[in-house]
């Protein structure tokens, strides 16, 4: 299985049946984003849902509001907007801007 190990958590990629290549709806958005003061967060896809992992054992399911805007459906900041720009590799959460790293999973 292919996945991302973040601390004690392992996030596995969703694979298609009979194929080794993952089929992801949000493939251009997923990855690890970094902010110098806040640290790292990971965007990944599970069961056709985009999920934000911000610390071990803490993740939030995101609901797409518009092309680049997602809203948190659970967690401590319900309905808080998250802006993800695939072309610039930036993720904006509140006042924090995270840059996409070259780390892949």
User: Class of 23-100 per CATH?
Assistant: mainly beta
Q: Where are the beta strands (DSSP E) in 1-105?
A: 3-6, 9-12, 31-35, 39-46, 49-55, 58-64, 69-72, 81-85, 90-93, 96-100
SS3 state of residue 19:
coil
Q: What is the pLDDT of residues 25-70, one digit of tens each?
A: 888 899 999 999 999 999 999 888 999 998 878 899 999 999 889 9
33, 91 in Cβ contact below 8 A? yes
* Rounded Cα distance, 67 and 85, in Å: 9
Q: What is the pLDDT of residues 66-103, one digit of tens each?
A: 988 999 998 878 889 999 998 999 999 989 999 999 87
* Rounded Cα distance, 49 and 92, in Å: 19
pTM equals 0.74
């Amino acid at each position: 299985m292919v996945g991302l190990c973040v601390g004690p958590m392992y996030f596995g990629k969703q694979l298609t049946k009979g194929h080794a290549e993952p089929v992801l709806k949000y493939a251009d958005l997923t990855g690890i984003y970094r902010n110098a003061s806040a640290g790292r967060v990971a965007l990944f896809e599970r069961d056709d849902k985009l999920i934000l992992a911000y610390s071990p054992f803490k993740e939030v399911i995101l609901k797409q509001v518009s092309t680049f805007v997602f809203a948190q459906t659970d967690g401590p900041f319900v309905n808080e907007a998250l802006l993800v720009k695939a072309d610039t590799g930036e993720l904006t959460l509140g006042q924090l801007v995270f840059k996409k790293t070259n780390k892949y999973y």
